[in-house]
Amino acid sequence: MITPADYPVVDSQSRSGVSWAAIFAGAAAAASVSLILVVLGAGLGFAATSPWADEGASAKALGISTIVWLLLTQIIASGMGGYLAGRLRVKWANLHGDEVYFRDTAHGLLSWAVATLVAAMLVLGAAGNLVGAGASAASQAASVSMAAGGAAAANADKDSMGYFVDSLFRGDGPAPVSDDAANGVAARILAKGIASGTLPPEDRAYLAQLVAQRTRLSQAEAQARVDQVMAELQQLKTDAKQAADTAAKVAAWTALWTFVALLCGAFFASFAALFGGRQRDRVLWLADDYVAHRTIQR
């Protein structure tokens, strides 16, 4: 039996301190395990959701489970990659223990870094393909819509001034206009009120006149309907703002927890490489007479 003390002394100063073969092997294992766990997590997530309301897991539960699964994926995949990088690296027989521990930790960190860069390149490549396909479709559609673009721009400029043009021809009584024209006037008044946040009294009164003229409601009932519609529009605007704020918060928390998960992956990869390197150095080489004889012949 050959113990670790019987290893031949190798001049470590003439050799590289990085075992790239072990690093790439650990990175490949980490990337593969990460892919498997991500696919498994996606399958479990789809199984827990439901297209019907009040069925399946809630959005909060899905968010928490996604964060936990992301952390577990990083810990398991990075830990396995780091362990392999530390266990498969070349033995440094004549180095101080502290230097060996540092190199093992560095090997785990490098394996995690390579696996992370490979995953990032794959994600960016897929996103680039999607962007390229969208740009190609947009360029094909641009030639078709160029003729209509000028007319659309002219109509947009006209509509932006429509509210002020309508105010020039307002009278004290009901406006003798068609239903389509009245709908356009009402739409521009409501759009102006939503943009400013309030409906001016003169716009409210004029809009109530248009409603009373075409619905046979009294002026008070028409004003109540205008107020109701305006309140519904304001609620829709408030809901849209809340949805935008929620989306921004979700994006921020996703980025923060992704950062935490990556840090956990780097730590566990380094720790697992240190553990694997120690096991590598404690290996006992078994040799019998046959192996010794073959070694002498070589």
The pLDDT assigned to 63 comes to 80
Domain boundaries in the chain? 18-128+253-297, 157-239
In this predicted model, what pLDDT tens digit does every residue of 69-85 receive, in sequence order?
889 999 999 999 999 99
Q: What percent of the chain has pLDDT over 70?
A: 67
pLDDT at 138 over 70: no
pTM (2 decimals)? 0.63
What does the mean pLDDT of the chain come to?
Answer: 75
pLDDT at 239 over 90: no
The pLDDT assigned to 128 comes to 56
The pLDDT assigned to 181 comes to 72
Distances in Å between the Cα of 235 and the Cα atoms of 184, 186, 197, 242, 267 are: 22, 19, 11, 10, 48
Q: For the chain, give the longest Cα–Cα distance.
A: 116
- Per the listing, tokens 């290893």 go with 7
Choose between 177 and 224: higher pLDDT.
224
In this predicted model, what pLDDT tens digit does every residue of 80-109 receive, in sequence order?
999 999 888 877 767 777 788 888 888 899
- DSSP output for 62-109: HHHHHHHHHHHHHHHHHHHHHHHHHHHSPP-TTS-HHHHHHHHHHHHH
Alpha-carbon gap, residue 11 to 117, rounded angstroms: 33
Burial class (CB in 10 A: 0-12, 13-18, 19+), 207: buried
Strand (E) or helix (H) holding 245: helix 219-281
The pLDDT assigned to 99 comes to 81
Alpha-carbon gap, residue 9 to 1, rounded angstroms: 18
Most confident of 58-62, 78-82, 204-208, 294-298: 78-82
Residue 57, φ and ψ in degrees, nearest 5: -70, 150
Helix, strand, coil % in the chain, rounded to nearest 5 = 80, 0, 20
DSSP-derived 3-state class of residue 285: strand
- Token duo for residue 199: 């409906």
